[in-house]
């Protein structure tokens, strides 16, 4: 609505955004280092803080968390706020790479690969089980899909289908036949 559905190019303050994509630390792109730091902080929060343990409890069994006196409403707000912050951080790194922002393009191609990376990294589709550090390895693995599809002679337009098949296979392999049990 603000941009009138047009592409907005980074012209002012580009010296603040462009280094995210052009700079490297020990040969590793700064955006990747930023992602690893964000994942490590998320892991530390989920593993070692009351907020993180409360979020995990809500994800595993919200009713049980409520009966255990976990403040579910507050923690849900915190979870959504953190999700929005991480989405904003990802948006800034995409803008740094593309040099522009668009309401119709840049992030839409990353939805299925992002879901596939999270699930391939061990995040449970049923909730309550995740490790942000494993999601990094899931993302690195899923990043090989375009290369694999090119080698196999699959058209680039079919990559979304391949991501969907990966999601279905991983979910099918991690869920048992019972309705809510997860293989660990």
The pLDDT tens digits of the residues spanning 63-97 come to 888 898 888 899 999 999 999 999 899 888 888 88
Q: Supply the pLDDT for residue 180.
A: 53
Q: Supply the pLDDT for residue 184.
A: 47
70 and 50 Cβ atoms separated by less than 8 Å: no
The residues of the chain scoring below 50 in pLDDT are: 177-178, 183-184
Percentage of residues of the chain with pLDDT beyond 90: 15
Q: How far is CA 75 from CA 40, 50, 94, in A?
A: 20, 10, 28
Q: Supply the pLDDT for residue 183.
A: 47
Read off φ and ψ for residue 25, nearest 5 degrees: -115, 115
Q: Supply the pLDDT for residue 173.
A: 79
8 and 1 Cβ atoms separated by less than 8 Å: no
124 and 182 Cβ atoms separated by less than 8 Å: yes
Q: Supply the pLDDT for residue 143.
A: 86
Q: Supply the pLDDT for residue 3.
A: 66
Per-domain boundaries in the chain:
8-105, 107-184
């Amino acid at each position: 609505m603000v941009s009138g559905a047009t592409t907005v190019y980074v012209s002012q303050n580009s010296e603040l955004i462009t280094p995210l994509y052009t700079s490297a630390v020990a040969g590793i792109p700064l955006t990747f280092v930023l992602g690893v730091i964000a994942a490590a902080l998320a892991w530390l929060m989920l593993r070692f803080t009351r907020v993180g343990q409360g979020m995990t409890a809500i994800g595993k069994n919200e009713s049980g968390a409520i009966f255990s006196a976990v403040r579910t409403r507050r923690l849900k707000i915190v979870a959504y706020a953190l999700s929005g912050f991480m989405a904003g951080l990802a948006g800034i790194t995409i803008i740094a790479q593309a040099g522009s922002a668009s309401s119709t393009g840049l992030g839409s191609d990353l939805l299925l690969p992002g879901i596939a990376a999270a699930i391939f990294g061990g995040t449970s589709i049923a909730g309550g089980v995740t490790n942000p550090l494993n999601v990094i390895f899931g993302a690195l693995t899923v990043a090989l899909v375009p290369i694999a599809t090119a080698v196999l002679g699959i058209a680039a337009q079919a990559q979304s289908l391949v991501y969907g098949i990966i999601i279905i296979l991983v979910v099918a392999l991690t869920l048992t036949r019972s309705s809510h049990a997860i293989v660990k």
